[in-house]
Amino acid sequence: MSGRFLLTIAAALSVMCTGCASIVGGTSQNISVEARQDAKSITGAACTLSNDKGKWFVSTPGSVGVQRSYEAMNITCTKSGSEPGTTAAQSTTKPMAFGNIIFGGLVGAAIDIGSGAAYEYPNLIAVEMKALELPKPAEPGSQAAAAPMTVAWKPVPKPTPGPFTTIAEAVALKDMCTPVGYAVLTGTGQEGDTYRVNCMGGMTKEYACAGQSCSPAR
């Protein structure tokens, strides 16, 4: 019986038995991301993390909350002057997931498998990046030396407002947070979007948005 078939059964059981017991913890996890070049940490690389549960964004070095899953976590980082770096972090099964078979039964274990709670990713994921290679200057007197040298730089993607930006900012004002700039979309998933609001004074607020409303993220 294939692993994919078992996951399908687990997902079905998770829908049928929402209230069943689990002892392995929640379905979310904080992951720290670091970009490296020549064994040195890179600051300000824009990274995108994704699996079958959703997509999340973070700047290096930094941390972001993601949804656990059996599927690998794919990470892509970009920064001006460097070639894009990519890696995939495989999830592992938590030891407590096996204990859940004993204490929670097969149904409890199936719930954790279907929801992703049975798995975890490495707490720190490092993405290797290479410096963008510039064309070598032509030898003096050669025909190529007369031609101007052009370098194609790849722009760094900048955060953009999302569909709930205005709502998140309004909720932040009620939370005694005066927004600096606009609310930034930091993640998308099956349960909705997450936004970060930078407040005056250096404080930040995180909000979970779905439907037509936003509320403080847990």
In this structure, what CATH number is given to the domain that contains residue 85?
A: 2.60.40.1120
**78 domain-assigned:** yes
Note whether 19 and 118 are same-domain residues.
yes
Question: CA-CA distances (angstroms) from residue 41 to 97, 114, 126, 166?
Answer: 35, 36, 9, 35
Q: What secondary structure, in 3-state letters, does the chain show?
A: CCHHHHHHHHHHHHHHCCCCCCCCCCCEEEEEEEEEECCEEECCCEEEEEECCEEEEEECCEEEEEECCCCCEEEEEECCCEECEEEEECCEECHHHHHHHHHCHHHHHHHHHHHCCCEECCCEEEEECEECCCCCCCCCCCHHHHCCCCCCCCCCCCCCCCCCHHHHHHHHHHCCCCECCCCEEEEEECCEEEEEEEECCCCEEEEEEECCEEEECC
Global confidence as pTM: 0.54
Per-residue pLDDT at 6: 47
Number of compact structural domains in the chain: 2
Note whether 59 and 122 are same-domain residues.
yes
Domain boundary among 81, 111, 130: 130
**154 domain-assigned:** no
**160 domain-assigned:** no
Note whether 11 and 112 are same-domain residues.
yes
Note whether 122 and 18 are same-domain residues.
yes
Q: What residue ranges of the chain have pLDDT lower than 70? A: 1-25, 95-116, 138, 140-149, 151-160, 218
Question: CA-CA distances (angstroms) from residue 157 to 45, 46, 48?
Answer: 10, 7, 11
Return the amino acid letter for 34. Answer: E
Give the tens place of pLDDT for each residue, 69-123.
999 999 999 999 999 999 999 999 876 555 555 555 444 555 555 566 889 999 9
Note whether 113 and 11 are same-domain residues.
yes
Per-residue pLDDT at 16: 45
Note whether 173 and 118 are same-domain residues.
no
Per-residue pLDDT at 74: 97
Terminal alpha carbon distance of the chain:
38
Per-residue pLDDT at 7: 47
**96 domain-assigned:** yes
**155 domain-assigned:** no
Per-residue pLDDT at 202: 84
Separation between Cα atoms, residue 124 and residue 64, nearest integer Å: 11
**What is the phi-psi region of residue 25: left when phi exceeds 0, alpha when psi lies from -120 to 50, beta otherwise?**
left
Place of tokens 């909720």: 171
- Is the separation of the CB atoms in 82 and 131 below 8 Å? yes
- C-alpha torsion sign, points 33, 187, 194, 161: positive
Note whether 29 and 91 are same-domain residues.
yes
Per-residue pLDDT at 160: 66
Note whether 73 and 126 are same-domain residues.
yes
**156 domain-assigned:** no
Structural domain harbouring 90: 3-130
Note whether 110 and 63 are same-domain residues.
yes
Note whether 15 and 107 are same-domain residues.
yes
**146 domain-assigned:** no
